[in-house]
Amino acid sequence: MEVFIELSAILILTVIVSGVMRFLKQPLIIGYILAGIIAGPVVLNVVQSADTFTTFAQIGIAFLLFMVGLNLNPRIIGDLGKTSLVTGIGQVFFTSLVGFFIGRLLGFSNIISIYLAIAVSFSSTIIIMKLLSDKRDLETLYGRISIGFLIVQDFIAIFVLTLISSINNGNNIAGLAVESILTAMGLLIILAIISLYIFPPLTKLVAKSQEFLLLFSISWCFAMASLFHYLNFSIEAGALLAGISLSLTPYHYEISSKMRPLRDFFLILFFILLGSQMTFTNISQYIVPSIVFSLLILIGNPLIVMTLMGLGGYTKRNSFLAGLTVAQISEFSLILIALGVKVGHLGNEIISLITLIALITIAGSTYMILYSNKLYGYLSKYLTLFERKMEKIDEHKYHKDENYDIILFGHDEIGFDITTSLKKIKKKFLIIDYDPKVIIKLSKQGYDCKYGDVNDTELLDDLNFSKVKMIISTIPALDTNLLLINKIKEANKEAIIAVVSHQIDGALKLYDEGATYVIMPHFLGGCHASTMIEDNELSFSGFLKEKVAHIEHLKLRKEAGHEHPRYAHH
């Protein structure tokens, strides 16, 4: 009961702090960490059951990585694996190298400089995945690349932690490394067989009950995470691979949607725990080093990633957005320093330094990522240096340079039906979507399409709006649609502009700014149902015809993978 009361008090405190953050229009993740600092030993000292909260936090991390794995189809990993591997290893290497020399210049010893250099080279997979999820950017190309190299970083971090523990325990490092590699390879082969041949028919049986499907998914996540922990690997790696093994099943959308509330609750506890573990003793003497190292992380790390991705042939926009995801330190950084203190390599005062760096970089990178599109707008003209003069491998351009009657932004659930209608009226149209999977699929079906994000002002400037008769946006983000309307009005005041909104106030605002028509899916659904009732009245055969037509339409949707909306409320 004491743990329950403690948890209740911490959650109430978090609601108050997060409410203030929301009122000030600040990221909630900052509120969670601040609540943890207030609840921790620095202020109120409410967190007494640290072991229990650590368990809760690990559950949240396992759920998060399991859900990420659900959306990491192995085929996509194959496409982006090389980029993620090169960028992940390259960023850790160059940041560690620069970090070591900075440590020495600041007067730290070799051993302390090595620890600090390695610690500042790791970025937080948990924080970035949460921010990208909040922005609905996990499915974008830069989001997938970022997840890839962050996971590479995590494996490097786990290896480093294992190495330090082995040195301290006097284990044979070479033997341990060979044993770990062989075990990992064996596990991956077994998982590949299970995911390809066992799970597809098994999940078909399990999915007959949605509750049983949820129970099965959670059990599989925990079983794999526990197995990996037992074999001296990380819980995170086990949960991630558990999700990937289910990603090939047709039910990964249902699993993901049902587990989202569980993930969010336990992740909140993770961020609270992270805040509560931060210490601030003798902080004043480390202000200068913390600022210097923070600048390396906030500015240096993104520049390193942008350089590596630019050399790899990516556009400056994707390189910039991916670069921002490494502008903070990881929870592994805190664990590494704590382990260094435990084995006697570091003094306790270094924990205060890494804590201050964590606060500065987590807060700074959160704002940078949330406002990345605006930042890119200000900086884009200076970023050409990081872009090679060649055809970019991430442009995914499957159309001829010609004028179009209609441009459709976003081939999601709404765009699917709109595309069908555009084919019927036999007008030339171009589809633009931010998901490279969608673009490749549409190109194979013979559609003119192009990879791009509506928030990219350079993309909008390149499009010839002056000749377009109609522009349709299926993206419900208000700011995005306002930007699009303004760009179109500058070039073509006669164009028909149709956009989507989920809010009445947002729809009215879009009309005020010049939208020709605002599509409101929820209201249109009710309108369609009411029209169907008026047309069929009490005719059983009439409703039966509607049913047959609806089932056929739903089958087409399912083949296209449209189980849940890709664009949620921004």
Last-in-domain residue among 386, 411, 427: 386
Cα angle vertex 334, ends 227, 265, to 5°? 60
Identity of residue 241: L
Same domain, 363 and 505: no
Cα–Cα distances in Å, from 3 out to 48, 129, 190, 289?
A: 8, 29, 40, 38
Do residues 135 and 477 lie in contact, with contact meaning Cβ atoms separated by under 8 Å? no
Same domain, 432 and 382: no
Give the pLDDT of residue 206. 83
Same domain, 450 and 525: yes
Same domain, 269 and 149: yes
State how beta strands 496-500 and 517-519 pair. parallel
| Structural domain contains residue 243 | no
Give the pLDDT of residue 448. 86
Same domain, 333 and 447: no
Same domain, 12 and 107: no
Q: What is the pLDDT of residues 229-272, one digit of tens each?
A: 887 777 777 888 888 888 777 777 778 878 888 888 887 887 88
Same domain, 426 and 516: yes
Same domain, 416 and 554: yes
Total domains, the chain: 3
Q: What is the pLDDT of residues 427-471, one digit of tens each?
A: 888 888 887 778 878 888 888 888 888 887 777 877 888 888 899
**Tokens read off for 34:** 């601040």
Same domain, 152 and 282: yes
Give the pLDDT of residue 97. 94
* pTM confidence score: 0.71
Low-confidence ranges of the chain (pLDDT < 70): 1, 71-80, 162, 165-180, 279, 281-282, 390-402, 413, 528, 557-570
CATH code where residue 499 lies: 3.40.50.720
Residues 6+ apart with CB under 8 A from 362: 29, 30, 33, 124, 127, 328, 329
| Structural domain contains residue 372 | yes
Give the pLDDT of residue 243. 86
Same domain, 415 and 537: yes
Cα–Cα distances in Å, from 131 out to 159, 303, 362, 389?
A: 26, 20, 11, 32
Do residues 145 and 87 lie in contact, with contact meaning Cβ atoms separated by under 8 Å? yes
Boundaries of domain holding 458: 397-559
Do residues 463 and 481 lie in contact, with contact meaning Cβ atoms separated by under 8 Å? no
Give the pLDDT of residue 264. 80
Q: Which of 439, 341, 362 is nearest to 397 (CA)?
A: 439
Same domain, 434 and 338: no
Query: Position of tokens 């033997």?
Result: 175
The phi, psi pair for 261, rounded to 5°, reads: -60, -40
Give the pLDDT of residue 118. 93
Chain centre to alpha carbon of residue 508: 31
Same domain, 264 and 380: yes
| Structural domain contains residue 232 | no
